[in-house]
């Protein structure tokens, strides 16, 4: 299976200029190709990727307005047109219902201030010792945090909004063999506690409050400053670094948590949470979005496919996991969210609300009855 390995790279000032030129060319090629497609009359056939490459790249280099496209490698320019084709494919499959998940919108023009990227295939890059060599850009210093498991088939150079550069390699890996410690586990996701496990353990999420307060303060400062000024750009960069730090902390925590869940358990059972609907509650929207429940589910499903004999099961969001005693199966009905401990009037067992829900999630995922007796 194919996976991505990402590393930080440190370009020289001259290489930064070259990368910025490359990002600009890729963005222009993508936008020009999208403009051509948008100009096609309704009902007419859309140009193919090969035709778009000929129109935008080959013929564009011959014009005075786009002759500078010849200053960069043609490989990432061709890949940029390929990306547009993938965007249209996802859009049409989403409209027809072939693509799962949320609806994909019509492709939009790329902006200069957003994250920038350029992809090289094997003809455009090579590994020379500990350095990465890119066509027409030279050799780059790479921070190899871990070795590549195999020869990469492509590399994407990324510049995030904080001005950092990364190289993302696509490599092929085989399945991993790890013996599970438990046959199954149920996971109840929450806000104050990120996850309560059916084993009785809690997984606490890192605190984002301090970074969130600083982020909101800089957002207010940015809104008051004059657009286009140097001070506003300085504030925008500091704000981007704060958001990146928060995202990195969350990503690191989710990776470690989901890896442990998949490695230690043969079957992981989760709830099908309607996160988008839950974000409509303006009192809890920030706290819910900070947890990254959707990302955690995606990571679990991806890592389960990488390890032999692992499975992630999703139960319906309408399962009354918080309304049933996990010991005797008695249903006490809906309970206010503020009630954290419940005493079953049938068997006399006192349950922690989240712990009881996690046990019921595991039973529902395994197809067992709620009454274990």
Per-residue pLDDT tens digits for 31-54: 999 999 999 988 888 899 999 999
Closest CA to 302 of 270, 262, 269: 262
Q: Which residues pair with 121 in a beta bridge?
A: 154
> Helices (DSSP H) in the chain: which residue ranges?
13-38, 49-53, 74-96, 209-224, 230-264, 275-278, 285-291, 293-306, 353-366
For residue 344, the model assigns a pLDDT of 86
**φ/ψ of residue 184, rounded to 5:** -160, 165
For residue 369, the model assigns a pLDDT of 60
Integer Cα distance of 373 and 371 in angstroms? 5
DSSP-derived secondary structure letter, 328 = T
Residue 292: which region, alpha, beta or left (left: phi > 0; alpha: psi -120 to 50)? left
Residues 6+ positions from 331 with CB-CB distance below 8 Å: 320, 323, 324, 325
In whole angstroms, how large is the CA radius of gyration of the chain? 25
For residue 79, the model assigns a pLDDT of 96
For residue 265, the model assigns a pLDDT of 94
pLDDT along the chain (373 residues), means of 10: 94 96 96 95 89 94 93 96 95 90 90 93 93 95 94 96 95 91 93 91 92 95 95 95 94 96 95 87 88 93 92 91 86 84 86 89 82 50
Closest CA to 268 of 205, 178, 180: 180
For residue 108, the model assigns a pLDDT of 95
Cα–Cα separations (whole angstroms), residue 215 to 194, 211, 236, 254, 283:
22, 6, 11, 21, 18
Active site residues: 188, 271, 354
Cα–Cα separations (whole angstroms), residue 281 to 204, 286, 319, 340:
23, 9, 21, 20
Within 10 angstroms of residue 26's Cβ, the number of other Cβ atoms is 25
Q: 3-state class of 113 per DSSP?
A: coil
Rounded to the nearest angstrom, the gap between the alpha carbon of residue 38 and the centroid of all alpha carbons in its chain is: 28
Integer Cα distance of 230 and 111 in angstroms? 19
User: Treating both helix axes as pointing N-terminal to C-terminal, what angle do 13-38 and 74-96 enclose, rounded to 10 degrees?
Assistant: 40
For residue 370, the model assigns a pLDDT of 53
pTM above 0.75, yes or no: yes
Integer Cα distance of 39 and 34 in angstroms? 9
pLDDT tens sequence across 155-184 = 999 999 999 999 999 999 988 899 999 999
For residue 149, the model assigns a pLDDT of 92
């Amino acid at each position: 299976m194919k996976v991505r390995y990402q590393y930080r790279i440190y370009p020289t000032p001259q290489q930064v200029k070259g990368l910025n030129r490359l990002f600009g060319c890729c963005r222009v090629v993508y936008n020009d190709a999208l403009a051509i497609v948008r100009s096609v009359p309704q009902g007419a056939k859309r140009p193919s990727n090969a035709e778009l490459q000929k129109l935008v790249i080959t013929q564009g280099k011959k014009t005075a307005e786009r002759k500078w496209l010849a200053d960069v490698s043609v490989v990432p320019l061709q890949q940029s047109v390929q990306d547009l084709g993938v965007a249209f494919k996802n859009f049409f499959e989403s409209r027809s219902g072939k693509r799962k998940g949320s609806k994909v919108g019509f492709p939009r023009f790329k902006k200069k201030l957003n994250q920038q990227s350029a992809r090289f295939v094997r003809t455009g890059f090579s590994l020379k010792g500990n350095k990465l060599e890119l066509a027409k850009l030279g050799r780059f210093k790479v921070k190899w945090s871990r070795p590549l498991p195999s020869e990469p088939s492509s590399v994407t150079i990324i510049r995030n909004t904080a001005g950092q550069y990364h190289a993302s390699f696509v490599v092929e890996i085989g399945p991993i063999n790890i013996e599970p410690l438990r046959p199954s586990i149920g996971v109840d996701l929450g806000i104050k506690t990120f996850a309560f496990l059916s084993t009785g353990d809690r997984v606490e999420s890192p605190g984002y409050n301090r970074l969130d307060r600083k982020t909101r303060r800089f957002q207010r400062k940015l809104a008051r400053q004059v657009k286009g000024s140097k001070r506003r750009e300085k504030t925008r960069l500091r704000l981007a670094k704060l958001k990146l730090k928060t995202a990195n902390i969350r990503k690191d925590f989710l990776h470690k948590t989901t890896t442990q869940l998949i490695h230690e358990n043969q079957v992981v059972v989760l709830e099908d949470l309607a996160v988008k609907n839950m974000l409509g509650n303006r009192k809890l929207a920030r706290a819910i979005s900070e947890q990254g429940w959707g990302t955690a589910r995606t990571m679990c499903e991806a890592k389960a496919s990488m390890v032999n004999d692992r499975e992630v099961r999703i139960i319906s969001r309408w399962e009354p996991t918080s309304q049933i005693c996990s010991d005797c199966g008695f249903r006490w009905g809906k309970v206010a969210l503020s009630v954290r401990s419940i005493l079953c009037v049938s068997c006399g067992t006192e349950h922690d609300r989240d712990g009881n829900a996690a046990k019921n999630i595991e039973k529902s995922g395994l197809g067992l009855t709620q009454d274990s007796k």
